[in-house]
Each structure stands twice: as C-alpha cells, then as structure tokens.
Amino acid sequence: MTLWLITDVDVEFDQLRYNKLEASRNNLGLTKGLPLLLEFFHEHGIHATLHMQEQANPELSIIERYPKLYDMIDDYGQEVSLHVHIKEESYERRKKEIRSGYNRLKERGYNIESFRAGWYFTNENTIRVLEELGIKFDASPLKGITIGNKKFYNIPDSPYHPSYSDITKPGSASVLVIPVTDIRLGIGIHKKNRYEDVLIEKGIKTLAAKAQEIKEPVIVYFTTHSWKPLTPSGKIREWEAKRREHFMKCLSKYEYKTLTVSEAGELWEKNKYQPYFLDLPHNALKVYPWYSFRRYDFFNRYVISNLHILRYKLFGKL
C-alpha cells in the first residue's frame, strides 16, 4: 500500500478573500496565518509547498512587500512555488504575469519547479508558458468543479501529462499536472460544519483502501490558504486548528509518505507511473439535504457547470 500526502498552501494577499480595503492593508493571512501553518507542518513533519503570489504589479508581490516570509519558509525547509492570479485566457496575458513572477523569484535565487494558478484557473496556454520557463509541475486543476470555461470533472485521479489541445485530457505535454482530487471525498477544511470531521475520516479511509488495489501511489491532497487559520479580524479559528489536528490523526492510522508538489512530481516521473481513474464515492455530496441541487452530481456536471461557463463568457467572473 502506498499513500502519498501532498500538502500545499496558496499564500496570497488577503484582499482576494475579504475584498475589503482595510483587510488588504493588514494582510494578516501573510503575517500571522502563514507562520501558524508553517509551525503546524513542522510539528507534524510535513513536507509542504507554498504557492507564493507574485504578480507583475509589485504591489501584489509577496517578495517585494514581505521578503521575510521567504526567509521563514527557507528556515522551515519548505518548497517555494509560484502562484499567479489571471482571469484572462490568452497566451500573451498569461505569459506576462507568470514570467514576471518567475523572473522576480529567479533573481532572488529561487529555482521554481511548481506552479498553481489563482482560482485553480489553468488552461492550455498556461501549460505552454510553464514549458517555456522550465516549470515542471502544475498543481492547479481541482477535480469536480468548473473554473472559467474548463470542466474538471473527468480528469484523472492522479498526475498526468495533459494534451496541448485540452488540458482536461492526458496527452504529450512535458508539464506534469498534479490535480487536487479529494474534493468529492470531503477531505478538506472549508467551513465550521459538523460533518467535516466525519468526511475527512471517511475520505482518508476510502483512499487507503484504494491504495491496496493498485500499484501506483494513491494521493491524499491537503490544500489550504494562508488566511484560513484566522477570522477576518485576525483571531485564531480554533475549530480550523482542531480540524487540521483531526486530519493528521486520521491519516496517522495508515502508512504514508509526505511530499511537496515537486517531490511528488519527481517521484512520479522517476517511477514512470501511469495516470489512473478511481471509482470513488461522492461523499461530500451526501451531506446536503435532498432538496439541495448540490447533492446531485448529474445536475452539477451538466447544468450548474454550463451556467458557470456562461457567466464567465458574459461577465468574466470565475
């Protein structure tokens, strides 16, 4: 049995969460939330990837405004990755934003190997830009949702090389996509809902059982944001901290290997694993009442997803 724990954090300015000027001035997620997460990872021996927001605009550059955070990440021995928010689909726009962040970090001595698109909105143009820059791994797709004009419902449950014509399908691109695949199992820390503890335990148990059936490693993906440990006012969310501990307690019942995004990608390539699809239950859908549209997978895939795409085309909203 092989379980891989991939852990990462979207480290970004608070305005992306709160959309309020007073919150964006403080950026407590960066100055207070990230240190809390780094210490948690250290206490549990977790290898983590920190996807650091670096935009062309220096006002949205963490290394320009909070350089000591990079020193802290280095001291903890964690991976620095690039995180860029781009709503436009075009190759030119994506190249400008991604390259500016990449070059800024390269000038400071960072050899960036992994990437995450803001809002999980990656596409074929992203893959082209990453290949040109030599970035090996794209940890952007979130299985089971629609982002922009992309439906990430039928992507593999494992890393895969995407097609140049359709990022949701395996192909011949050199970049390895490492998708977040645990959303339908409910493995995540989202809101203060009583059922999340049950879903975390059930989801990890499900993946551990699948790991007994196949030769490739089965991935448990833990992803979060720098601002999640805090309330908007900057107080520590006790329930969120307890849920992280609960996650590790459930995982500790099984043998697992903790890996950064790049470590997982390198191992995947070295062992020449092939992409796979798992027959997994939609645990997360079952917690909604019978009258909620979110409970029905068909409705989400074919009705709600098309409404999201229409909204994106009309208004550019993700």
Residue 33 has pLDDT above 90, yes or no: yes
Residue 6 has pLDDT above 90, yes or no: yes
Name, of 14-23, 163-172, 229-238, 285-294, the range with top average pLDDT: 163-172
Instruction: State how many domains the chain has.
Output: 1
The answer to whether residue 305 is domain-embedded is no
Return the exposure string of 246-259: e unless at least 16 CB atoms fall within 10 Å of the residue's CB, then b: ebeebbeebebebb
Q: Report yes or no: 226 and 12 within 8 Å, Cβ to Cβ.
A: yes
The answer to whether residue 297 is domain-embedded is no
* DSSP one-letter string for 3-56: EEEEEEEEE--THHHH--HHHHHH-HIIIIIHHHHHHHHHHTT--EEEEEEB-S
For residue 180, give the DSSP letter.
B
Residue of 151, 174, 150, 152 lying closest to 161 (CA atoms): 174
The answer to whether residue 272 is domain-embedded is yes
Residue 7 has pLDDT above 80, yes or no: yes
**Rounded mean pLDDT, 43-59:** 97
The answer to whether residue 103 is domain-embedded is yes
SS3 per residue for 111-138: CCCEEEEHHHCCCHHHHHHHHHHCCCEE
The answer to whether residue 251 is domain-embedded is yes
Tokens 């006790």 correspond to: 238
pLDDT of residue 21: 59
Residue 270 has pLDDT above 70, yes or no: yes
List the domain range (segments joined by +) for residue 43: 3-282
The phi and psi torsions of 175 (rounded to 5 degrees) equal -65, 135
Residue 102 has pLDDT above 80, yes or no: yes
CA distances (Å), origin 89, targets 40, 54, 126 = 36, 18, 9
Name the band, by pLDDT with cuts 50, 70 and 90, for residue 104.
Answer: very high
Residue 22 has pLDDT above 80, yes or no: no
For residue 213, give the DSSP letter.
T
Helix (H) or strand (E) holding 100: helix 91-107
The answer to whether residue 318 is domain-embedded is no
The answer to whether residue 41 is domain-embedded is yes
Name the band, by pLDDT with cuts 50, 70 and 90, for residue 17.
Answer: confident
Return the exposure string of 179-209: e unless at least 16 CB atoms fall within 10 Å of the residue's CB, then b: bbbbbbbbbbbeeeeeebbebbbbbbebbbe
Quick: pLDDT tens for 171-204: 999 999 999 999 889 898 888 888 899 999 999 9
CATH code of the domain covering residue 274:
3.20.20.370
**Rounded mean pLDDT, 61-84:** 98
Strands 3-11 and 218-225, sheet pairing: parallel
Quick: pLDDT tens for 81-99: 999 999 999 999 999 999 9
Tokens 């379980």 correspond to: 3
The answer to whether residue 311 is domain-embedded is no
Q: What's the pTM?
A: 0.95
For residue 278, give the DSSP letter.
-
